């Protein structure tokens, strides 16, 4: 399960991980990162079930840094106050970077 994988990836003694009983929301937290697992639609690959969402302060700056490192990113979507863009991991899971607080 992704929750266990990303908990191991963060390697943080302080992290607290949980997933709701209905399996539609989960989080991994430590002092620097909060990873949310949100049940989403299967849009890009048949195996996609969860979307990982990272809170960031500047979407343009984060997008530029990821592209410089070789990641393929989507365009930046905006609803006025909230901006976000997405990438996908090698398994096709969607990872979203959003300025939502």
Enter the pTM of the model. 0.58
Q: What confidence score (pLDDT) does residue 14 get?
A: 45
DSSP 24-77: SEEEEE-SS-EEEEEE----S-TT--EEEEEE-S-HHHHHHHHHHTT----PPE
- The domains found in the chain, sorted by start residue, are 2-98 (3.10.180)
Integer distance in angstroms from the first to the last C-alpha of the chain? Answer: 26
Mean pLDDT over 77-81 rounds to 90
Compute the distance between CA of residue 1 and CA of residue 68 in angstroms, rounded to an integer.
30
- What percent of the chain lies above the pLDDT cut of 70? 67
Compute the distance between CA of residue 63 and CA of residue 71 in angstroms, rounded to an integer.
9
Closest alpha carbon to 37 in 21, 19, 22, 55: 19
């Amino acid at each position: 399960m992704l929750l266990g994988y990303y908990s191991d990836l963060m390697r943080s003694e302080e992290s607290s991980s949980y997933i709701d009983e209905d399996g539609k929301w989960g989080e991994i937290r430590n002092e620097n990162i909060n990873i949310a697992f949100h049940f989403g639609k299967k849009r890009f690959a048949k195996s996609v079930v969860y979307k990982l969402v990272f809170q960031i302060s500047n979407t343009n700056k984060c997008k530029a840094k990821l592209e410089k490192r070789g990641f393929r990113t989507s365009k930046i979507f905006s609803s006025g106050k909230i901006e976000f863009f997405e990438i996908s991991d090698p398994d096709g899971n969607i990872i979203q970077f959003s300025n939502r607080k």
